[in-house]
Amino acid sequence: MGKNSTSIYQFKLPIFGDAGVGKTTLTHRFLHGIFKQSYHGTIGVDFFLKKLEIDGKKVSLQIWDFAGEEKFRFLVPGIINGANGTIFIFDITRYVTFENLTNWLSVFNKATETHNQKVPILLVGSKTDLEGLRTVPSEEGKKFVKENNLVGYIECSSKSGENVEELFKAITKIMISNIK
């Protein structure tokens, strides 16, 4: 989408990851600054709009909160079409959600090839407020980023709010820098 005449950057930002890793909780924390213990599972995809200013630039983020269940994976190619950036999220306390990133990535890569687009991916480890239950070391997240050529790795807690604003700002700055 890029830039329109009133100098507002509009970006499509889908969020992918297994069911229950905290995509909806993260989105709502970012949008409304609140933490809610539980949400009903997302059916298909939910769509949200957030306006913000970064480095003096006005940005309108279209956040696509994508359902984590396998049965919705067929929707991925349509959701990726026109995306300017994306967030892959896993739960640091559930190792299987980290392992499943490989599957998410292969579906994602197929779709971006189909649409002939390069989309930067920020990897996010969620639920740092449950540090004592961690099963995925930070080093593994960083290693995954290096091996798969992603743009960065940030850990966050939607409960405490730690790094929530920061991770959305980080991916937004990358999307701004990619505008030609």
Has residue 23 got a pLDDT over 50? yes
Report the percent of the chain where pLDDT is more than 90: 62
Averaged pLDDT score across all residues of the chain:
88
Q: How many domains does the chain have?
A: 1
> For the segment 129-166, what is each residue's pLDDT rounded down to a tens digit?
999 999 999 999 999 999 999 999 999 999 999 999 99
Write out the two tokens for 33.
Answer: 């600054």
Cβ-count burial 143-170 (b if 16+ within 10 Å, e if not): ebbeeeebbebbbbbbbeeebbeebbeb
> For the segment 54-93, what is each residue's pLDDT rounded down to a tens digit?
989 999 999 988 776 766 667 777 788 889 999 999 999 9
Has residue 6 got a pLDDT over 80? no
Which pLDDT band holds residue 38 (cuts at 50, 70, 90)? low
Has residue 11 got a pLDDT over 90? yes
Has residue 13 got a pLDDT over 70? yes
Higher pLDDT residue, 81 or 128? Answer: 128
> How far from 168 is each of 42, 57, 77, 128, CA to CA, in Å?
20, 15, 22, 17
Which CATH number characterizes residue 117's domain? 3.40.50.300
Quote the domain boundaries for residue 35: 2-177
Which pLDDT band holds residue 35 (cuts at 50, 70, 90)? confident
Has residue 15 got a pLDDT over 60? yes
Separation CA 104–CA 153 (nearest Å): 16
The two beta strands, 86-91 and 121-126, are parallel
In degrees and rounded to multiples of 5, residue 124 shows phi and psi of -125, 130
> How far from 142 is each of 35, 100, 129, CA to CA, in Å?
27, 16, 19
Q: What is the pLDDT of residue 28?
A: 86
| CB 63 within 8 Å of CB 50 | yes
> What's the predicted TM-score (pTM) here?
0.89
Has residue 120 got a pLDDT over 90? yes
